[in-house]
Structure 1
Amino acid sequence: MQHRDAPWWTDATVYQIYPRSFADGNGDGVGDLAGIRQRLGHLADLGVDVIWLSPIYRSPQADNGYDISDYDDIDPLFGTLDEFDALMGEVHALGMKLVMDLVVNHTSDEHAWFEQARSSRDDPKRDWYIWRDPLPVGPDGRGEGTDAAGTPGAGTFPTAWRSAFSGPAWTLDEATGQYYLHMFASKQPDLNWENPALRQAVYDMMNRWLDRGVDGFRMDVINHIAKDPASLEPGARGFVMGGRIHDHLREMHRYVFASRTDRELITVGEMPGVTVDDAALFTAQDRHELDMVFQFEHVGLDHGPSSKFDNRPFDLVALKRSLGRWQDGLADAGWNSLYLGNHDQPRSLSRFGDDGAHRYESATMLAAVLHLHRGTPYVYQGDEIGMTNAGFTSIEQYRDIESINWYAEEVEAGADPEVLLESLRFRSRDNARTPVQWSGGDAAGFSTGTPWIEVVANHHAVNVEADRASSDRSVFDWYRRLIALRHESPVVAHGRFEMLAPDDDRLYAFTRTLGDEQLLVLANWSGEPYELDPALHPVLRRRSVPEVVLGNVPHGIGSLTLAPWEVRVLRA
């Protein structure tokens, strides 16, 4: 039930598909468009409104498709343009929308643009990428610049930037004698958004996809397209977002979206490092930049000082402080994207809950807490059945370039391989990239061939068939009820958010209020029973049993004791 003149996506739910791991339709071990088409009924039953596809463009697959060599074609690994059109038609016929991943901070080094750019310093497309001369080398053979580790006078790299995938963020092109910038893998050169011809080429490409019928874009690391000029000067330590980002996004809106008022479109910007104040600007509807952003603050709280692989213990108070600040900061201007996991994060159940004895309870508790915040919730494939981390025990089982590079670099530096593998077991992106577990059979029903990455060993018990057949412990059914509640109850999408007991390290409690209607959410984020304080909320002091909207531990309803990982949603 859409509230007044609110945009359609405020009461929508988005489902992310990582295509190579969703469903394999041709038996080659890699998920594809045919597999997605075969499983659309699963998503329609779930009730989601939008399907977001991670990249399926033509690509050498150095970073699983986030290195694009042709924006206008589908990689044969996944299918053809005709198959894409068929998929899109079926998605629309089922009442859902289809969103493409847009990766325009960088391309593949095999993209025609980059091949032209590196052919000559005088090529017209040279300036479509970011190039710098090597810094001079002194008489002693030491560079006058800064090396990739930040040591002055130790190298000729133009700046001290490090790639997100380990190693320097600059690679020397021997033929032309200049370094090109790549914030990610060396096969992913960064585009130069200061070049107007490059920007127009991107807008033209986006318009071609919208003309084809897609319903919007999730924009990969889109704030990285604007580099602060000072951060590209010799010796600079790393990326700083430039102020031109707002100009670029408003220009994008003018050239791509402004004239399409007859379409219900959505734009989502992935933006590492943005603040609440940044997001309020990016998502204010009168500024015409983006509809919502993905921020990373809450999923960085358990990262240690050295890297994301340096694991800190989970801190519920810190999580509540972070998510609460974003709820308050975007309450009157802007909009939140709600997520705990995606293709770049460990499985949320293994990271934040109990993926063993209380798998059902913690999976459903996490889902309820997420979906009942103010914002648009994102379901990552497999979360709707409580999938867990991979549990890999050797580096040979991993496929993720970030994980493999980090492991190799740390081993070379003398680190204990077993300690490194333990970090990867918790943190690697491959935890979320194992095949969706459709059944307990061979390859978890994902493929009739050998999957490109191993399936999780628990697929015999954790799979779609088994979960949907359960009469009282179906994670899928819980997600379906949460999505339906958002559609039916305006207070879920539009109500004011208020955090309760912010300093409690086991209880996650909040209210959502719209007019005379209020929901009270009580979640025990622990494996031990939790005694509720009646002073927390007036509804707990009433003699009558409150109306229960949702509860994952039925026998506990009406009691002041929350069972381990129990969540109750009460009408106050």
Structure 2
Amino acid sequence: MTERVWWRDGVVYQVYPRSFADANGDGIGDLEGIRGKLPYLAGLGVDAVWISPVFPSPMADFGYDVSDYRGIDPLFGDIDAMDALLADAHALGLRVILDFVPNHSSDEHPWFRESRRSRDSAFRDWYIWRDPAPGGGPPNNWLSNFGGSAWAFDEATGQYYLHLFLDRQPDLNWRNPVVREAMYDAMRFWLRRGVDGFRVDVIYHVLKDAAFRDNPPNPAYREGVDATANRFLPTHIADLPETQGIVAAMRAVVDEFPERVLIGELYLPLERIVAYYGEDLKGANLPFNFLLIGAPWDASFIGGLIERYEAALPKGGWPNWVLGNHDKPRLATRVGDAQARVAAVLLLTLRGTPTMYYGDEIGMRDIAIPAADVRDPFERNEPGKGLGRDPQRTPMRWFPREGAGFTRGIPWLPIGGDVAAINVESQEGDPGSLLWLYRQLLVLRRAHPALSHGAVQVLGCSHAVLVYARTEGDERFIVALNFTHAAAEPPVPLVGEVVLSTHGAGARGPLEGDEARIVRAPAAG
């Protein structure tokens, strides 16, 4: 049996701080708002809160452009507010994970301001500067993830600097050992304050090709449909072999403190995701597995995905699963309201650490954002492609009234028109609600070792139904999920006591359409 630690047995809940709870009425969520909702999170049954960036920032990319790695932006509060949040969370048995953004800083960070002052600056090599190409123009064909060239020309010094995201987000030079140590010390600053770990933003991008070679064309690119950055394969700007050394060094910093976790954001194929566990499991504790987010919602496909992922894990590597985050369309939007209930059972009964996204537990959907109200720079840079992330970042709905209990001011993004049913207060009193289902699942998971850290085995799957077992010692549960709207016979018999069904505890026989069922198998012998 794997050693018991909180980030293996627990459930992580992502908070997008601008949108979770606004305590001061300015229309933007803050740390005091999060702190006030910690009892809700503890009562929900999650174990850790991951908070997207709250560091000082000019907010060109809403906090992912950091101007000080050791502070709190006044928009969210101050360092005392963070300390108070940590203290309250720990008193409730909750862990706190911060977002760490190492690939780039803000162009307003003092390091970059000094770096661009002159070619002779002591900070010049903290960022990635290159001369123009021999014929003029950018040094190579690298593209920004947010559209256009990844190189911005600095008139004052006559060189280009690299930015894989906005030009307001210059890339740090992780080949410079002084930069590495400065970033590791920033991590230690927060670990000493009691932070329980980090989710590391685009960890696979931190190193780029030392020879600055052009990226090769992407044969699958669709002009006018795909993000511009996809015109070329990211061969020389992502997932370089040397990146594993950086990840291992970050892990070593985290391991200086007891019971901390390092999570890496990775949008990579399966075989590359598992490489980030590192040699002898000294890489990321949890290389994020986003494969379910983009997977076809098909029982057979997902059954195969579970088996492939489990087979690819290094010995001792702990799996994890994610169904939603701040960068992708919401779960209920992708699969529909009825299947969102099936998805909840899937996420919370698979082997591995689940990560929930705020609002998914009440079935929040993407909200259409009028063009005049668009805030996301991705959408502004590439309009009309549906790449904007504002729709899935709208405010949390706490109550069925104006402001949805999120704010007494004007919310920074629209709340949406379906707040009367999709809110915490209304669902807390409804045993048939999605919120109740999540709470039931979290109670079951916490109460039964088979569901929190037991082995998993796919027993059978068809186009419609996936069935798998979770086993620990003498305890065994069978999970059956119908991915269609029509009744379907499971591919294997469901023998035992029904302990939970999305259609009521009395469910028997074939699965109803959109039903998920958990059965306690009879004891052997």
Q: TM-score, normalised by structure 1?
A: 0.84
Conserved 8 A contact 2:290-2:322: no
* Deviation (angstroms), 1:284: 5.8
Equivalent pair of 2:502/2:517 in contact (CA under 8 Å): yes
The one of 336, 340, 350 equivalent to 2:333 is 350
Change (3 A) 1:292 1:113: same
* Match status 1:528 vs 2:522: no
What is the one-letter code of the residue matched to 2:311? Answer: D
2:316 to 326, 329, 333: 333
1:146-545 superposed matches below 5 A: 156-230=137-211, 232-234=212-214, 237=232, 238=234, 239-254=237-252, 256-260=253-257, 263-276=258-271, 278-283=272-277, 286-301=280-295, 317-330=300-313, 332-352=315-335, 354-355=336-337, 358=338, 362-392=339-369, 394-407=370-383, 420=384, 424=386, 428-470=388-430, 472-502=431-461, 504-532=462-490, 536-537=491-492, 539-540=493-494
Change in CA separation of 1:318 and 1:177 when aligned onto 2, cut-off 3 Å: farther
Change (3 A) 1:284 1:171: closer
For residues 134 and 320 of structure 1, the distance between their equivalents in structure 2, rounded to whole angstroms, comes to 50
Contact 2:498/2:505 (<8 A) preserved? no
> Cα offset for 1:556?
6.1
Once residues 315 and 128 of structure 1 are traced to their aligned partners in structure 2, the CA distance between those partners, rounded to angstroms, is: 47
In the TM superposition, residue 193 of structure 1 has moved relative to its aligned partner by: 0.7
The AA in structure 1 aligned to 2:439 is: R
Q: Residue 528 of structure 1 aligns to which amino acid in structure 2?
A: A
Aligned mates of 2:295, 2:208 — CA distance in 1: 25
Amino acid at match of 2:486: E
1:271-316 deviation per Cα after TM superposition (whole angstroms, max 9, x unaligned): 122533x4444326843222111134443457xxxxxxxxxxx555
Answer yes or no: is 1:557 the counterpart of 2:516. Answer: no
DSSP-derived class of the 1:73 partner:
coil
Unpaired segments ≥5 residues, structure 1: 138-142, 144-155, 303-313, 408-419
Name the CA distance, whole Å, in 1 between partners of 2:155 and 2:299: 50
1:60-116 alpha-carbon deviations (Å, 9 max, x no partner): 101110000111111111111111111111111111111110001111111111111
Q: 1:296 to 1:161 in 2, by over 3 A?
A: farther
Deviation (angstroms), 1:391 = 3.1
User: Does the aligned pair in 2 maintain the 1:346–1:428 contact within 8 Å?
Assistant: no
Q: Offset of 1:527 from its aligned partner?
A: 1.9
The answer to whether the Cα contact below 8 Å between 1:159 and 1:234 also exists between their aligned partners in 2 is: yes
Quickly say closer, same or farther: Cα 1:108–1:50, change in 2 above 3 A: same
Structure 1 match to 2:223: none
Q: Does the CA-based 8 Å contact 2:204-2:238 persist in structure 1?
A: no
**Alignment partners' CA distance in 2, 1:388 and 1:174:** 45
- The alignment covers a number of residue pairs equal to 503
Alpha-carbon distance, 1:317 to partner: 4.1
- Aligned twin of 1:108: 106
CA RMSD in angstroms comes to: 2.0
Q: Give me the whole-angstrom Cα distance separating, in 1, the residues matched to 2:214 and 2:147.
A: 20
Contact 1:283 1:333 in 2 (8 A): no
| 8 Å CA contact 1:229, 1:242 repeated in 2 | no
1:36 Cα shift? 1.0
Which amino acid is the alignment partner of residue 130 of structure 2?
R
User: For 1:21-100, what aligned pairs fall within 5 Å after superposition?
Assistant: 21-100=19-98
Residue in 2 that maps onto 1:548: 498
Q: What code does the residue aligned with 2:481 have? A: A
Q: Give the match's secondary structure for 2:498.
A: strand
Structure 2 regions of 5+ residues with no counterpart? 217-231
1:558 aligned partner, one-letter code: R
Q: Give CA-to-partner distance per residue, 1:107-137, whole Å, 9 cap, x none.
A: 1111111111111111121111111111122
The one-letter amino acid paired with 1:493 is S
Instruction: Provide the identity percentage.
Output: 43
Deviations 1:393-420 (A, max 9, x none): x32232211122211xxxxxxxxxxxx3
